[in-house]
Amino acid sequence: MATHAGYGGAVFVGTDAVAEVKDFTLDITANTADTSTLNASGDDAGWAKVALTLKSWTASLNLIWDDSDAGQGALTEGSSVTVKLYPRGTDSGYEIWEGAAIVTGVSKTVAVDGLVEASITVTGNGHIDEQTI
């Protein structure tokens, strides 16, 4: 089993690299609808049955806030963006997860003994493309 260090990862919004990314998370969900019926028999008796309905995805980014960065500047609440997530880096042969999204959350944290940080949440607007570059 291959393992990969995360320090090579990158995030882009459109063609702009997002500076100062500490980490990111991609969550892909497959929703289901209950198809259980009365009088199920055999191995299915007493068990719920489901069917796939819609898939969705969200991503969250944790950043050291940089108000001069174009990539971070594009991540304002309500903005429609194209997000490109690179888990290992941007070299040929590496993976990329890319999709259209809407910025649904922006949170900034300020602490007396730390840096100003931002947490950004985006919600996919359609599919996310998982491919090798």
pLDDT tens for each residue of 22-63: 999 999 999 999 999 888 788 888 899 999 999 999 999 999
Instruction: Report the number of distinct structural domains present in the chain.
Output: 1
In a domain, 46, yes or no: no
Is the pLDDT score of 2 beyond 90?
Answer: no
| Residue 94 burial (C-beta neighbours within 10 Å; 0-12, 13-18, 19+) | middle
User: Residue 102: inside a domain, yes or no?
Assistant: yes
Domain encompassing residue 65: 7-30+51-132
Query: What CATH code is carried by the domain that includes residue 95?
Result: 4.10.410.40
**pTM of the complete model:** 0.90
